[in-house]
């Protein structure tokens, strides 16, 4: 199937985090290294895309159209998937065009993606029939991938992450941008354990109804073993402060596991803070999903002043 064609590693390691902070509090923290599943479709992106790609092929589509910001992991991954699976790709990019292209958009262009820019007011209406019909007039027939790739096919793909975990645990955690990965984990758990998401956007109360709607799409609306923490966004998407950067740097130095301050870093900061505040009981076993996103770091170098030589 698709996995064999492109060399996806669907059996990524589950690594124990050895940290005196965790040992003192009798907490086990393990990281599912989904960042290692593919060089360009890494993390949750492969899980979100694989059944969408299959569906697009079954519908006879030859073009994938999707939405994202200028540093979007999703835009990057869709462009790579288009080249690998022989699709034309169109990226509807939030905001104004800038030249030269940043590293994310440069990669996407090199992989054949065409860009169409929407101002922020129009972008907010990206799911409206008005915008979608306008795009059909411009580009013709295409397979529509929502922002972040989040739909019922993404939920199905992300649910399979659970099948690859053979350790006992109490909680499974992931960062949340659109809620698709979390919905998939909840679906895969099917009422067992507890899934906890960490919002990376400010004002993300919309995520809970989003996840509820996604669970309803896949017939799992009755599941209640989950929640989303909204407290660790650090001011909004792709925003961070010195405290978060120092945490990220310490974590990398301690574990050797690369993370970034946009998704996985915020989630891990939140988990450590909740541990400090007694949220997790002693002897709890927590699994965190490393959702990749490391490609975005190349575009953030000018914004990050690391405190030492230990760089992502």
C-alpha dist (Å) from residue 300 to 150, 186, 193, 261, 272: 25, 32, 36, 10, 24
- The architecture (CATH level 2) of 44-149 comes to 3-Layer(aba) Sandwich (3.40)
Which tens digits make up the pLDDT trace of 213-256?
A: 999 999 999 999 999 999 999 999 888 899 999 999 999 999 99
Which tens digits make up the pLDDT trace of 170-203?
A: 999 999 999 999 999 999 999 999 999 999 999 9
Q: Give 299: exposed, middle or buried? Use CB within 10 Å, 0-12, 13-18, 19+.
A: middle
Q: Rounded distance, CA 230 to CA 161, Å? A: 23
Query: Could you give the angle at the alpha carbon of 97 between the alpha carbons of 95 and 99, nearest 5°?
Result: 140
Q: Are 66 and 75 a contacting pair, CB within 8 Å?
A: yes
Tokens of 149: 């790739």
What stretches of 141-221 adopt beta strand conformation (E)? 143-144, 171-176, 194-199
pLDDT in the model for residue 4: 58
What is the crossing angle of helices 73-85 and 103-110, to 10°? 10
pLDDT in the model for residue 296: 78
pLDDT in the model for residue 301: 64
Tell me the helix, strand and coil percentages in the chain, rounded to 5.
40, 15, 40
Q: Mean pLDDT across the stretch 60-68?
A: 97
Q: How confident is the model at residue 1 (pLDDT cuts 50, 70, 90)?
A: low
Which tens digits make up the pLDDT trace of 10-51?
A: 899 999 999 999 999 999 999 999 999 999 999 999 999 999
- Can you list the pairs that 241-248 forms with residues at least 24 positions away whose Cβ atoms lie under 8 Å? 242/307, 244/269, 245/304, 245/305, 245/306, 245/307, 246/307, 247/272, 248/312
Report the percent of the chain where pLDDT is more than 90: 89
Who contacts 28 (Cβ-Cβ below 8 Å, separation ≥6)?
16, 22, 169, 283, 284, 285, 286
CATH topology for 2-38+152-299 is Rossmann fold (3.40.50)
* Strands, sheet with 88-94, edge to edge from the N-terminal-most edge strand: 113-118, 88-94, 63-68, 143-144
Q: Are 34 and 161 a contacting pair, CB within 8 Å?
A: yes
pTM recorded for the entire structure:
0.93
Who contacts 243 (Cβ-Cβ below 8 Å, separation ≥6)?
none
pLDDT in the model for residue 152: 97
Who contacts 221 (Cβ-Cβ below 8 Å, separation ≥6)?
212, 215
Strand-pair partners of 249: none
Q: Rounded distance, CA 312 to CA 310, Å? A: 7
Tell me where in the chain the CATH 3.40.50.1100 domain(s) lie.
Answer: 2-38+152-299, 44-149
pLDDT in the model for residue 303: 60
């Amino acid at each position: 199937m698709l996995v064999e064609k492109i060399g996806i590693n669907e059996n990524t390691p589950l690594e124990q985090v050895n940290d005196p902070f965790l040992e003192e509090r009798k907490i086990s923290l393990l990281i599912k290294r989904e960042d290692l599943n593919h060089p360009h479709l890494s993390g949750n992106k492969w899980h979100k895309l694989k059944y969408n790609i299959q569906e697009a092929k079954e519908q006879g589509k030859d073009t994938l159209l999707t939405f994202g910001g200028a540093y979007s992991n999703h835009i990057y991954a869709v462009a790579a998937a288009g080249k690998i699976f022989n699709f034309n790709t169109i990226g509807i990019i939030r905001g104004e065009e800038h030249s030269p292209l940043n590293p994310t958009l440069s990669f996407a262009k090199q992989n054949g993606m065409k860009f169409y820019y929407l101002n922020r007011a129009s972008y907010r209406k990206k799911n409206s029939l008005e915008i979608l019909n306008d795009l059909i007039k411009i580009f013709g027939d295409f397979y529509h991938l929502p922002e972040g790739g989040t739909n019922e096919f993404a939920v199905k793909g992300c649910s399979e992450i659970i099948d690859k975990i053979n350790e006992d645990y109490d909680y499974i955690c992931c960062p949340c941008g659109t809620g698709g990965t979390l919905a998939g984990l909840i679906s895969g758990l099917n009422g067992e354990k507890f899934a906890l998401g960490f919002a990376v956007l400010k004002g993300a109360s919309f995520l809970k109804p989003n996840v509820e709607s996604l669970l309803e799409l896949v017939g799992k609306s009755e599941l209640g073993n989950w929640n989303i923490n909204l407290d660790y966004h650090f001011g909004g998407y792709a925003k961070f402060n010195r405290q978060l950067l120092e945490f990220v740097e310490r974590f990398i130095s301690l574990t050797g596991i690369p993370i970034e301050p946009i998704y996985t870093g915020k989630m891990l900061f939140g988990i450590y803070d909740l541990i400090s505040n007694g949220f997790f009981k002693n002897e709890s076993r927590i699994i965190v999903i490393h959702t990749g996103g490391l490609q975005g770091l190349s575009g953030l170098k000018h914004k990050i002043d690391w405190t030492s030589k230990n760089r992502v």
